[in-house]
Structure formats: structure tokens, C-alpha cells
Structure 1
Amino acid sequence: MRTWNNTNVPSFILMGLTDSREIQLALSVLFLLIYLITVLGNLGMIMLICLDHQLHTPMYFFLTHLSFIDLSYSSVITPKTLASLLTSTKNISFTGCFTQLYFFILFGGAECFLLSAMAYDRYVAICNPLQYPVIMSSRLCCVLVAGTYMIGFVECSFTVLSIARLPFCSSNVIHHFFCDIFPILALSCHDTYATDIVVYLCGSFTLFVSFIIMSWSYMSIFSTILKIKSTSGKQKAFSTCASHLLGVTIFYGTTVFTYLKPKTSYSLGKDQVASVFYTIVIPMLNPLIYSLRNKEVKNAFIRVVQKRGGSKQFR
């Protein structure tokens, strides 16, 4: 551990997940495999939706941006984590660290509100099916997506600027595998009370507002589904939102566990496991959840393959 006598820390040291070389190699293979699946899965989902005109609907418009955010979200964390596991270089510059933190918060906040927009889309589709094409117009979909990125931008700007202004003079060792909020705050030699308030307000606003929108949407959805008399009708209605509900549960479960709790209850081991899950694993799971449980995506994949195969045969 290196101690600094001034506030100008040129770089940080990421301690990573473990000191064991054998475990590091095993994790590097596992994370590389997960990252490759994440890249292929999300890029494949984006390309499939773009190529198949039958998927040009509001639901898949949002899903395209979810795949983009998941791919970006994972790419902010995983490559640097792999480099740290495979080499002895654990240094990250001050600018690099806060750039990673910036985009981590940006895409994380954007995903929260994008999931809310997707929940609202399912609410309109199930509760107001006749007005769905009118309500979920192209203009509204673009506004909702633009709003998710804008809110993420504002949130991460306030959070990162408030943290970056702190003096770091006690140590430059981050006890984590990436530049996360609480491990960085722990290095400051200044009172972080005001910064803690900013962090909790921004985080609480994002999680609670998006959670309220989703809760209201799904309570309305479940209320409508219960009024459907036929069993097959109930199953069909529920299947349209089951994948999204599963993705929301996994994402919010780990995120709330990590961030919406007192800083004094921060546990390095438990929080690192949760961080691995929502930064590396969940971006891989989302395209699998939305493709394997979705007949429309499977049929679209078959159509695209047959179309491409037919065009090559024609040539």
C-alpha cells in the first residue's frame, strides 16, 4: 500500500477479486467466455431486430437499446478486469478510473429507466391493446429512449464530479476489481458527508422512480390479466411480459443490495460477488432471456437465416 502526502494521486491500484494466481487464471477464462457470449448475444440481437421488419415494433425498439446498453455496460468493466487478471498490471490512471466510473453510472442509470419504459410499453400493450399503436408512437418511443440517456448523463455527471473533487491523500489502493463508488470514497482523506448525500440522492432517485413506474405498470398488468376469463388468454398475456419481469428482478435485486444500504454495512466480499453479477453476468443473461423465451425472436432468426440462405443460393 502506498501513502500519498498530497492530494494529487496520479493513479490507482485495483486489487481485484483474489490474490491467488490459479483462481485468477480460472476467472479470466470464465469472464472471457462470458464477455464473448455478451458481445455475440447483444450484437446478434441488435442485428436481428434491424434485419427483420416484423420486429420493428416499440417493444423491440427498446430491446435494441437494452442490448446496446448491456454491451456498453459490460465493455466498460470486463476488458480492464480481464487485463488485470491476466497480467500483473493493476494500475489505472486517475482519469481512466473516473472515466470508467462515469460510463458505469451512465449506462447503469440509463438501463434502469429503459427497463421502466419497457414496463410501460407492456402496460399499454396489455391494458390498452386497441390504442397501443396510437399511444406508443415512434415519436414517444424516441422521446422515452432519449430521456433514459439524458437522465443517466445528468446523474453520472453530478455523482462523478462530486467524487472527483475530493482529495485523495491517504492511499491509492482500491479494494475492488473496478472503480466503483464506495471503494473510491473510502480513499478520500476529506469528510465525504456532502458527497455521500449526492450519491444517495442520485442513486435513490434513479432506483426508486424507475421502480415506482415499473411497480405501477405491473400492478396494472396483473390486475388486467386476472380479469381475463380464459386460461389461455391469461397465459398469453403473461408471457408477453415474463421475460422483462425476470430481467428486472435480477438487475434490481443485485443493484439494490449493493447501493441502497448504509456505507457502514459495506462488505467487500459480498459486494464484489454482487458486482460481478450485475456488471459481467447480467449483460450476458439479458439477450438469452429475451431470445430463448420469445417465439417471435426465434421465428425472426429462422426468417433471417432462410432469407440469407435463399439469396446466396439465388446468386
Structure 2
Amino acid sequence: METIKMEIITGRTGSFRIGNCLIITYTLPSGNLILLDSGAKSYDPLPAYLDERGIRVTGVIHTHLHEDHIANDRLLQQRYGADLYASVSEIRSSADPERVLQELGLAGWMGENYREMTAPLVFTSFPDRENTLTIEDCPFRLVPLPGHSTGHTGIITPDGVFCVGDALLSDFSLENARAPFELDMSKAMDSIRRIRREDCPYFAVSHRQVVKQSEIRRLADQNIRRLRELCAETASLVEDGMTEEELVDIAAAAREIHRDYRNVFFDIYIAIREELEYEIRLGRIRAEGEGPGRRLFRVQPRG
């Protein structure tokens, strides 16, 4: 059985891993913990680790409410009465799981799993704008970073560690993700630029790595470059008259993604469709009709 090892990033801000998921923590003056998201899988040994050390998790501040960021919410709320915080629009989505399932294209066992995870949870909202959440006189800055989800939020701890959630891909994800999920590609790129401008000593990225200020511009630029490349690759596969459904299948096959393949955390096909939408908004592709059967056409550049 894997063991939990908590490490300090700076000041009272630390981290520990559950599987390949990096959880950011902040130790309050009382000695109890605030978590920034609660992990990608439920982890029963967590309470035993905390209880042995006399630690309680009194709150979880969420970047967003996708399944891979809330897996231990129920456990922490039931055992410690932990407060669960998220933006208004994220809570609105979780209160209507069907909306999330539709946005992410989830179906079958994943959809049922999400309903089961969110149904008993009680959230406290914060506004969909930049603001501060203060817990035990400790201020957490909340920075809207929409794109990956409607109400995705970055969280800056009192020590200045910026947890950007899934608004920025880690080096690992840049190398390995075949179709990074963005609900709105344009907003996602704007959020990456917003992260790039922030002057913080450390950034926690995609729950996989912590990078220093000196590295964030490089990583942000690589993220934007990679997302643009993927969108351009999808657009390059368009043949006049092709349906959207045909394009998505071809793009998925080009990335060696099979139709029956489903990533545990999001739907590959929804991600590729948003790449297409981005190219349509840029005017490089023209679409006629609605839905998966609409016809696609290349737009010839002027001059």
C-alpha cells in the first residue's frame, strides 16, 4: 500500500501525492489543513494518516468540479465536516450532473460514477470573479481561469503558491496528452496568458508538478503553442463536404485514439470538437448545418 508523504513547498504550503495526483495543502494556524482539490481517486488510508497525527481537513477549495478533482470530497466532508468551496458556475454544474455529463460527453459507468460522487456533497460558493476567500484569517486569492471548465478558478495560497489546476498542462501532459480537454479553447488560451503574468514564487500545475516563477513563462508559451498545433492539425484533416463526425473520427485515428477509448477523466471526442470550433471561430474552416452531421469546408486565405 502506498504511503502518504507530505512535503513543504514554501511556508505553510505543502503537497502530497495520491497515485500520480499532486494535492496542494495549506496548514492553518490551528494545525488543520486546507486542500486545493481532493484528488483523482478516493483514498481510504488518508483519514488514518491524518488521525494518527491529530490533523483535520477543515476545507477543500476547488479549482473546478470535474471528477478527477473531487474524489475524496465525500470522505472528507463526512469524516471531518470539511467545507467544500467552488465557484458559483461550477456548483451550478455539479447541482445538475446532467449538464456536466453533456459538456464532457460522459456516458455509461463514468456518468453513473459522477452522479454518485456529487449527489451527497454540499458546497459553499464564491463569485465568478477575482476575489479572496479568508479562512482562519488566512487569505486565499481566487483567480478566474475559465476554459477547461466554465468556472475554473486558480487559487493562490497565503504563501504565494499558485495552484492553476487544469488551466495549464504540465510538461508530462504536454508530451503525452493526445487531446487535452478544453471546453472553450479561446478562453483557455486567455487564462494561460493570465497565469503567465502572475508574479508568484511557485506554480502547482495540473496536479503533477510544481514549477518556479522562472519556468512559468516557458511552460505557458509551450502550452499555447501545443494547443494551437493541435487545432491546426485537426483543421488540416478537413476535406470539403466532410461531416463533423467524420472529421472527429479521422482526427482521433490520426492520434491513435480508438472510438471505444475513453480517458478516465474526460471525453477525447469533445476535446477534438472544440479544436474544430476554435478553427471555425478563426475563420479557417466553414461549417454548414448543425451537430455531428454538419458539413465542413476549408476557407482559402485571401491574397
TM-score scaled to structure 2, two decimals?
A: 0.22
Query: Which has more radius of gyration?
Result: 1
Q: Higher helix fraction: Structure 1 or Structure 2?
A: 1
